[in-house]
Amino acid sequence: MTNLEQLLQSDSGREQKEVLSLKFRQALSDVKRQLDLGCAPSEYQLLVKQHNAYEAALTVIDNFQSNQ
């Protein structure tokens, strides 16, 4: 079991999920803002990868809680 799974299964799991979701949504918003401002192609590729990673993290957290 991963640390994330243990954290989400703990007694404060629901609260921790909200904290993590908020952090990832804020990071996702920051990346979107940077993409909207424009950037060099190499930076764009990095930002898109970060965007995809944050979306994936949110999906994992949401799916984990749904499967409990």
Q: pLDDT value at position 24?
A: 94
Closest CA to 61 of 5, 2, 3, 1: 5
- 28: Cα within 13 Å, side-chain hemisphere: 15
Report the interhelical angle of 13-37 vs 41-66 (nearest 10°): 160
- CA 30, distance to chain mean position in Å, is 12
pTM of the model: 0.78
Residue-number span of the structural domain to which 33 is assigned: 14-63
Spans of the chain, pLDDT less than 50: none
- The answer to the question of residue 47 being in a domain is yes
| Number of domains present in the structure of the chain | 1
Q: Is 8 among the domain residues?
A: no
What pLDDT is recorded for position 63?
Answer: 83
What is the per-residue pLDDT for 65?
Answer: 63
SS3 37: helix
59 in a domain, yes or no? yes
Asked whether 49 and 5 are in contact (CB, 8 A), the reply is no
